[in-house]
Amino acid sequence: MADKAQGHTDWSPERYGRFRDLRLRPALDLLARVPVLPEQGRVIDLGCGSGAVAEELSRRFTKRKIVGVDNSVEMLKKAAATGAYHRCDLVDIQSWEPTNKPPALIFSNAALQWLPDHAALLPRLAGMLRPGGVLAVQMPRQNGAPSHRFLREFAAEMFPDRFDFTGWVPPVADLPDYARILQPLGEADLWQTDYLQRLRLQGDGHPIRHFTEATIMRPFLEKLTAAEQEAFVKRYERALEVAYPPEADGSVLFPFRRVFLVVKVS
């Protein structure tokens, strides 16, 4: 999901798609826990990106219209090309609202972590559903891991004029916090999974840098000149080599935590 609301440029479907299978598995795990939906209503793929989950949604909900929503032009082109969506809407997901009747399912895979104030956001989204509708959300919760922590630490040290994380709060909260937010809305199912991802070499550079450069690195690099980017990436790669050393075959093991929220509204 592109985050132009935060001033970021458009996403690269090619870079994001390098690790398609690793990014798709959590979406399928989320989809597997979506309960029975009301008889009527559309399925909204909120922050659909390039449409990685489109075919699976279409296969699961064969008789429903599926609408992709994203604010990346390039990602939506890829999504529309899947042929699985009834429509693809170019909309900032932070301000999105259904244009027709209330949907039966709002499905959001790895998108809402870019948006603030989940205590207000999740009830607002749930309130858009028809009675018995389902809100299903998956978000990475990786900000305490070296792969993500290094970015904040190095940016603040190297470029304090542009990066200040004083009072910084992780964008994804603890599960008990989400339980308290969702409990008044309906029947909630929450869980957390640590995926042990094996990343293999893909050209020059540390595999985890290739993984993060399509997502969490973007807002950092966009504030740097070309020379600053080079220095920043070099330092990041050196730190990654220590935190995530290569295995005998050259791959690296990359533990990655994700949070899942499913609520069937009352």
List, as one string, the DSSP characters of 141-156: --TTSHHHHHHHHHHH
Per-residue confidence (pLDDT) for residue 109, from 0 to 100: 96
* Backbone conformation region of residue 227, classed left if phi is above 0, alpha if psi is from -120 to 50, else beta: alpha
Stretch 133-149: mean pLDDT, rounded?
Answer: 97
Give the C-alpha distances (Å, rounded to integers) separating 157 from 119, 120, 152, 165, 170. 31, 33, 9, 10, 19
Per-residue confidence (pLDDT) for residue 19, from 0 to 100: 61
Per-residue confidence (pLDDT) for residue 142, from 0 to 100: 96
Per-residue confidence (pLDDT) for residue 230, from 0 to 100: 96
In the predicted structure, residue 30 carries a pLDDT above the cut 60: yes
Domain containing 90: what range? 4-265
In the predicted structure, residue 193 carries a pLDDT above the cut 60: yes
How big is the CA angle at 128 (ends 87 and 111), to the nearest 5 degrees?
Answer: 65
| Residue 7 pLDDT class (50, 70, 90 cuts) | very low
Q: Exposed, middle or buried: residue 196 (CB in 10 Å: 0-12, 13-18, 19+)?
A: exposed
Instruction: Please state, for a pLDDT cut of 70, what percent of the chain lies above it.
Output: 92
Span of 7-16, 19-28, 76-85, 151-160 with lowest mean pLDDT: 7-16
| Residue 1 pLDDT class (50, 70, 90 cuts) | very low
The total domain count for the chain is 1
| Residue 18 pLDDT class (50, 70, 90 cuts) | low
Model's pTM, two decimal places? 0.89
In the predicted structure, residue 91 carries a pLDDT above the cut 70: yes
Per-residue confidence (pLDDT) for residue 3, from 0 to 100: 36
94-113 residue pLDDT tens: 999 998 899 999 999 999 99
Per-residue confidence (pLDDT) for residue 20, from 0 to 100: 62
58 in Cβ contact with 84 (< 8 Å): yes
Per-residue confidence (pLDDT) for residue 143, from 0 to 100: 94
Stretch 141-156: mean pLDDT, rounded?
Answer: 97
The CATH number of the domain holding residue 240 is 3.40.50.150
In the predicted structure, residue 240 carries a pLDDT above the cut 60: yes
181 in Cβ contact with 122 (< 8 Å): yes
Amino acid at 59: R
Stretch 32-44: mean pLDDT, rounded?
Answer: 97
Residue 22: which H helix or E strand, with range?
helix 20-32
Average pLDDT, the chain: 92
